[in-house]
Chains A and B, each alone.
Chain A
């Protein structure tokens, strides 16, 4: 017996892809290929290896940028969460960064660092870092007072309180901050490939658009969205596996 939710998910996918296919067959626009054409193009690109080569290039700035953002972001976030002085000094910057359209910095970055990898890594970093920092700081600051008090009453040193209470208590929120950071990093990575220089998947999109090979263009876009969504879903699953108990843990019903 297949579950209702799985059936509905499949039905929902069939409906959407079916609508895509029909809209492509009508066609609603000369630049709107059918679902099957796009998927054929996707398979072709996968088989001849273009797609793998493209991703090897696209993922480079993404991975480097996200790693840098994670290390710096969590470090700064923990510090902001622990020290009111540091919070006063640094949190406004990240709050403004979070609300502001940082993409506008891209032309400047290109002027300063050229059109190479450095600029792209920077774009990923400025997109991914604020949410990581703010989530970490918030989680550290909001560690339940009662378990910190408990640790102190059982003679915990300051280092014990940080390592055994605050960090574990904050880690679910830190992790979800990382997930949001990766999500923003994807936006940054693609934006930089479309805006700075067409490389990797951005190159496939731009090139196939210029020669009006729309199925390939849609296939490339489909694949990057699919990749991002799958990867973020895996992260979310990991979050449930690692921290599943935590969400209900604090309530004292």
Chain B
């Protein structure tokens, strides 16, 4: 199992970030999963630090969504285990919330019922869950759309609903499966900026699946590069130098550009 930890932090800022070994919220241990003949994951291990955003990045077919769904408890691994806050995962749990690539909104339910749906399933009383939902609808910038239906919203707004639903159950870990891949480029940029402040303000652990190198480098505290056939973690990159330079400056930062180039160099031979 080749797993190298590369720290590309520039010299000046290195001590403050790399000093404390971060506390681990989720860890995957020796996860294997095959679908019939196809080996999706082989003995994969990875740790996700608390309060940070970790991206799973790789070409299609490298098993990143499979890994995320195993963490969510939606799929069972053939072997290995997932620990969330030290406890083994046996199925979906209240400590994790999922944001879906295709939003997975209930078409027959209003925005507020969609956002409150996680709480509804937990048996929270209607008025209470709607208060919570209203708060998060405001937080994601959809105030005023509480009674709209999903088909009346744009793709970007629908994903905000999906995000608000995941936030409203107040889980420790947020699992995001290519959440911005179905929205247009400009909306995606806005989302990425919002995600940065979300990671900073909410003390949650984010696991973020993407196939966009730029997106991964832009939003992540830690990037795990996954390779297909057999699926494995090529390396884990922890960008650190540009995290504090402000959302608008990241894309101009030399370190940002270096990491993007470096990742592309290591992935290009796997893209057919």
Which A residues have a C-beta under 8 Å from some C-beta of B? 144, 146-147, 149-157, 160, 164-165, 168-169, 171, 243, 245-246, 248-250, 252-253
Q: How far is the CA of A245 from the CA of B113 in the complex (A)?
A: 15
Q: Assuming the A-B contacts A149-B74, A252-B102, A252-B103, are A154 and B169 also in contact, with contact meaning beta carbons closer than 8 angstroms in the complex? A: yes
Q: How far is the CA of A14 from the CA of B109 in the complex (A)?
A: 44
On chain A, the residues within 8 Å of B103 by CB distance are 252
On chain B, the residues within 8 Å of A164 by CB distance are 117, 120-121
Among the interface residues B107, B150, B182, which one has the most CB atoms of the partner chain A within 10 A?
B107
Q: How far is the CA of A42 from the CA of B243 in the complex (A)?
A: 83
User: In the bound complex, do residue B100 and residue A245 qualify as a contact, i.e. CB atoms below 8 Å apart?
Assistant: no
CB distance from B110 to the nearest CB of A (A): 10
Decide if B141 is an interface residue (CB 8 Å cutoff): no
Closest to A248 in B: B151
Q: How far is the CA of A157 from the CA of B91 in the complex (A)?
A: 12
Decide if B97 is an interface residue (CB 8 Å cutoff): yes
- Give the contacting residue for B107; candidates A150, A245, A253; CB below 8 A: A245
Q: How far is the CA of A185 from the CA of B36 in the complex (A)?
A: 46
User: In the bound complex, do residue A155 and residue B94 qualify as a contact, i.e. CB atoms below 8 Å apart?
Assistant: yes
Q: How far is the CA of A152 from the CA of B90 in the complex (A)?
A: 13
Q: B90-113 toward A: CB 8 Å interface, digit per residue (1/0)?
A: 001110111010111111110000
Decide if B72 is an interface residue (CB 8 Å cutoff): yes
On chain B, the residues within 8 Å of A249 by CB distance are 105, 107-108, 149-151
Closest to B152 in A: A245
In addition to A154-B97, A154-B98, 16 A-B residue pairs with Cβ atoms within 8 Å of each other are A146-B104, A147-B104, A147-B106, A150-B98, A153-B72, A153-B73, A153-B92, A153-B98, A155-B92, A155-B93, A155-B94, A155-B122, A164-B117, A165-B106, A168-B109, A245-B108
On chain A, the residues within 8 Å of B158 by CB distance are 252
Decide if B80 is an interface residue (CB 8 Å cutoff): no
